[in-house]
Amino acid sequence: MGIELPPAISSALAQLPFLSSIGMLATSSVLKFYNGLKLVSHLPGLRTPFSPYSFLGFTAPVTWWNPGLKFLWEGRKDHYLYKYFGSENFSITPWISGAPLIVSSNLDVLRQTAFGSFRSDFEKPEEMSRALLFWVTISLVLTGRSGGDIAVSGWGDKDTIDIEVVQKLTHKFTLLIISTCGFGLDFDWAEPPAPPDGRMTVQQAFKIVVDRNMAVTFMPRWVHKLVPTTYFREVDEAINEMSRFMKAQVTSRKAAVRSGNGDIDAFTLMVKANEEEGSKYKLNESELIGNVFVLLFAGHETTAVTLAAAMIYLALNPEIEKEVLQNIIEVVGWNGKPTFEDYGKLDKVLAVFLEVLIGCYPSGHLMFRKATKDTTLKLPRPGTMMVIDMVGLQYNPRYFEDPESFKPSRWCGVSKDSDAFTAFSIGPRECIGRKFATVEAVALLALLLRDFKIEPLLLNGETLDAWKTRVLDASASDHFGGE
């Protein structure tokens, strides 16, 4: 015969599992927070429930207890966070989700963690990959100059071209250049007709993979099937189409390499090098395709975004645009085409590209390193995540005078080996595509600036100030980490 408990006691017992779970979560959070403070050596900083670089921190509503990525971006760019904490280093210590971090805008810390004598004490975390900047729609007017001869399909003989989304133009330019010059892929400016079987074209697939990189990179494929929307269906179709295309390319290039008839481009050279490797270091087909795609993606995305941003700043600074145009005319003339030999003479064109890429909005704006043991930095303990803040570094007045101003002239005469060129990383781990990117950018900017005057395109009756505020509102998808 059972004992009937009073309702109050029964209700309390029913809540025990819930209360127990709450207690375990609270205990776990306290321990995580305490251990996190030890990892960052109690360095002053932000104390939040989620790391902004964790899934929960990225997706949770932005509020006082979850400041979000935009707050961090702006706080680093204007050095507010560094001023608030009184240091060039601050910490982020979450108590529920994410790893504790030390964020630094100090060049000496960058040198030691990335390529100095202590770089073996740090490793690149596998969970972090390249960070990207995402820009709002950039609208510009291109007015043809007399004597200009640059031709783009669809523009015809128009004197004035309104471009509502400049990124589409620069992405198409850079994708064509890297795909043909770097990888020997037969991409054309005009959109090819759809295959008779209804599949996506390679260009369409590549665009979807790039535009929806979060769904491609971060979400497992099985998540796409749980949410059977057109968005995820197109992502899966694009991934499958790119996979088919890349596998076919690898197969044909292997055959060409073995027959001694391979083209000299980056793709073929990677296949050739892989074929010559011993079995211990040889990449399988999937790994080889992954490396090629990363190069293809990184090789055009950064340059395209920076070129679009450069056009914004030139539209806002007509006097600088005139100076750069004079440099172009002196070197190339009104009817000539820039050659590789002209690259070193177009120093003011290069300076504009570098000012945007390095000084204004570095696209690879975070560098993550994890300490593997105690080092003479005295900041990290083993397991501590170091984040080198490229934005904060470039806006650090200790290294750059008047960092808020657009001053391309600061890069004229600076040695290519200078530590100031942090956008391509520095030291032995410098980006191998640096020269390709800068030559490509200088050639394209030289032609565009010579043949067109760049002006703001005001949409829906907006003022120039409103346009400036809109187009300069870059946001960072820091969730994917950094270099």
Q: Which residues are annotated as a binding site for heme?
A: 431
Structure tokens at 63: 């509020």
Structure tokens at 154: 């669809």
The C-alpha atoms of residue 365 and residue 367 are separated, in whole angstroms, by: 7
Closest CA to 301 of 140, 474, 142, 437: 437
Alpha helices in 260-386 (DSSP H): 266-276, 285-316, 318-331, 347-354
Residue 173 carries which side chain, given as an amino acid letter?
A: F
Closest CA to 362 of 385, 387, 393, 386: 393
The C-alpha atoms of residue 200 and residue 296 are separated, in whole angstroms, by: 19
Cα atoms in the 13 Å half-sphere on the side-chain side of 371:
25
Beta bridge partners of 122: 371
The C-alpha atoms of residue 33 and residue 130 are separated, in whole angstroms, by: 27
Output the known binding site: 431
Structure tokens at 431: 């980006």
Running DSSP on this structure, what letter comes out for residue 234? Answer: H
Closest CA to 441 of 366, 365, 367, 358: 358
The C-alpha atoms of residue 420 and residue 358 are separated, in whole angstroms, by: 8
| CA-based max dimension of the chain | 104
Q: Which long-range contacts (CB under 8 A, 24 or more apart) does 262-269 make?
A: 263/184, 265/181, 265/182, 265/183, 265/184, 266/182, 266/183, 266/295, 267/182, 267/183, 267/184, 267/185, 267/292, 268/184
Instruction: Give the CA-trace dihedral at 123, 124, 125, 128, to 10 degrees.
Output: 170
Q: Which long-range contacts (CB under 8 A, 24 or more apart) does 240-244 make?
A: 241/199, 241/200, 241/202, 241/204, 241/205, 242/202, 242/205, 242/206, 242/209, 242/293, 243/289
Sheet strand arrangement including 452-456:
160-163, 140-144, 452-456
Tokens 């440099």 label which residue? 327
